[in-house]
Amino acid sequence: MQPIPATERIHKDRRDWYNLRGMLPYLWEFRGRALLAIGCLVLAKFANVGVPLTLKEIVDSFEQQPEVQALVLPLSLLLAYGLLKLAAALFNELRDVVFARVRYRAMRRLSTKVLAHLHELSLRYHLERRSGAISRDLERGTRSVSTILNYMVFSVIPVFVELSLVAAILLSKYALVFTLVTFATVLVYVAFTFAITEWRMDYRHQMNRFDSQANARAFDSLMNYETVKYFGNERMELDRYDGTLEQWEEMAVKSQTSMSLLNFGQGAIIALGVTFIMVFAAQGVVTGTMTIGDLVLVNAFLLQVFIPLGFLGIVYRQIKYALADMDLVFKLLERPPEIADRPQAKPLALDRGQVRFEQVAFHYQPERPILHGVDFTIEPGAKIAVVGPSGAGKSTLARLLFRFYDVSDGRILIDGQDIRDLTQSSLRAAIGIVPQDTVLFNDTLYYNLAYGRPDARRAEIEQAAEMAHIRTFIDGLPQGWDTVVGERGLKLSGGEKQRVAIARAILKRPRILIFDEATSSLDSHTERAIQTTLAEVAAHHTTLIIAHRLSTVVDADRILVMDQGRVIEQGTHSALLAAGGRYAAMWELQRRERRDDDDSSAMISVT
C-alpha cells in the first residue's frame, strides 16, 4: 500500500471551523430565509415537546376519575394533542420548504465559484492535474455544502433545541436526578461518538483517496481508448483499476467494521441511560411522588431525545466526512493563480498591433531553461515565421504571448505595453490562434464554430466555415450543423478539427494572429487551398506563424530559425537559402523527403 500523504492522513491538517465559517457568505444572500427556517424549527420543537405534556394531562385525567363507568373523554386535551402533532409536522415541512432555496443556492454559488477559479488557475496547473480525480473531488466537495446545511438545520440544531426544552421541563417539574442522568447519558454518548469517529476518519480519508485514484485511472483509460486498443493493454488497465479498488475495498471493510463497533457502543449507552431513568420514574410512582402521567411524560421525553440522538452519531460522521470533502474545495479555492492581473492592470490600448519580444528568457523549471534571450519584433501587418526542430521553444512563444506563463526575464510588448501590465481578458481578446492540437467541445459543429465569437450572426459563421473550406463537409453530413463532434472532437479527423479551428480564428477577427502548425493535419491538396485562405486572413494582421514544414512559410516577411531556445538565424526565405546555414540544410532535407514521397505515390499509382 502506498504511503498516505500527510494532508490526507487525518483531519488535523484541515480547518473544520474555518471551513464552516467559509460557508457563511453563501448563506448571506438568503439570510432572511435562513432565520425564518430556524424560527419554524423552534416552533416545531415547541409543538413536539408539548405533545408529551398533553399526553400526561390526558393520562392523569383518567387516573383522577375513580369509577371506570364515569370516565369522560378529555376532548379538549385530545384535540390539543392532535393540533400539536399537526403543528409539529406543519412547521417541520415549512422549515424544509423555506430552507430549500438557501441550500441549493449555496451549492450553485460554490459550484460556479469553483469552476471560475479553475479557469483562473494557470496552464501549468491544468497540465499537471488529473481530470478524473479532480472531478470526483469537486463533485463530493460541492455536494458536501448541501450535506452540512441539511444535517445542521434538520438534525443537529433540532436535537439541541429539543434537548434544551426537555431539560428545562425536567428541572422545573421533577427531581434533579432525572436531568443529571439525561445529561450524563448525552455527554457520555457524544464523547464516545466523537472519540470513535475521530479514530475512524483515517479510513474514510483513505477510501476517498483510493476512490479518486480509481476514478482517475478509469477516466484516463477511457480518454485514451484508442491507445489502449492499439497496444492491447485492456487487461493492464483493468488490473490497475482493480488494484486500486482492492485497496479501497480494504479501507471500506475496516470503515464498516469500526462503524458497527460505534453503533453498538451508542446503543449500549442509550439503553443504560433509559433504564436508569425509568427505574427512578417507576420508584417515584410507587412512592407517590409521581403520577402515571409523569411516568408516561418522562418516557415520551426520553424517546423524543434519545431516538434522534441515535441518529446524531450518524449525522456527526456524515458531517465529518462532508467537512473532509469540503476541505478539498476550500483548499483549491485558496490556491492562488500563478498568472493574475496586477492591481493596476489596464485594458490593452491596441493601436497598430506591433508585437515585441525583448530579450525574453523562460523556464518551466529553473533547472530546465526553454528560451534564452529571444529578441524580435513583428511590425504591424507583417508576417513572421518561426521554424526549428521539436523542442526548440517555438510553441512556447505563443503561450507566453497569450500570457499563459510569465517570462522569466525580459519583456513582451504590444504597441509598447508590457503584457504583464494589461488585463488578461483584453490581451486575449486581441489575439487569435489556430493551435496545432485542436480540442473541441462535445457539442454540435455549429456551437464549436460559433465559439470564436458567440454573438456572431449565422451568416458570419457560415462565411467563416466557407473560408476555412469546411462548409461543404458540414453540408454533406446527415445532421449538418447539428452534428455532435464527440468528446474532444474525436468524431472528426485531425484535418477537419483543424479547419474548425481556422474558421473560429477567422470568426474572432483579432488584430494579432498566431498559426501554430496550422496545417499540420491537412493533406497536400487541402493545405494548398487553406494556405491561400490563411494568407487572406493574415493580410493586414500582425501574424506569428510557428511551422515545421518550411514550404508553408516561404512568403513570410521574415523567418526566425530557433534551436535549443535561441534564434540562430533570421531573414527572408531567399536570404536564408543563400546563407547556406541551418535553414538551408532543413530546406534541402524536407525537399528530398517530399520528392521521395512523390516517387512513392507515383509507384503506388502505377501499381
pLDDT value, residue 310: 64
Length of the chain, in residues: 607
pLDDT tens digits along 10-63? 344 457 777 777 777 877 778 888 888 888 888 888 888 888 888 888 877 776
3 state DSSP class of 5: coil
* Domain range 16-334, CATH class: mainly alpha
Contact 108, 324 (CB under 8 A): no
Which cell goes with 527? 493545405
pLDDT value, residue 10: 39
Domain 348-430+512-575 has CATH 3.40.50.1100: no
Among 52, 44, 43, 40, which residue's Cα sits nearest to residue 304? 52
What's the CA angle centered on 21, arms 15 and 24, to 5 degrees?
Answer: 150
Contact 380, 393 (CB under 8 A): no
CA distance 590 to 574: 16
pLDDT tens digits along 352-362? 889 999 999 99
Among 523, 576, 580, 526, which residue's Cα sits nearest to residue 550? 576
CA 342, 377, 583, 597 dihedral sign is positive
Residues of the chain with pLDDT under 70: 1-14, 63-73, 128-134, 136-137, 310-313, 520-526, 529-530, 594-607
pLDDT value, residue 572: 92
pLDDT value, residue 291: 82
Residue ranges of the chain that CATH labels 3.40.50.300: 348-430+512-575, 437-509
* Domain range 437-509, CATH class: alpha beta
CA distance 297 to 507: 77
pLDDT value, residue 73: 61
Contact 387, 577 (CB under 8 A): no
Contact 213, 207 (CB under 8 A): no
pLDDT value, residue 260: 84
- For the chain, the C-alpha Rg in angstroms (whole number) is 36
Pairing of strands 542-547, 512-516: parallel
Pairing of strands 431-434, 512-516: parallel
Which cell goes with 170? 425536567
Residue for grid cell 456527526: 316
pLDDT value, residue 606: 45
Contact 269, 236 (CB under 8 A): no
Contact 189, 270 (CB under 8 A): yes
Contact 468, 533 (CB under 8 A): yes
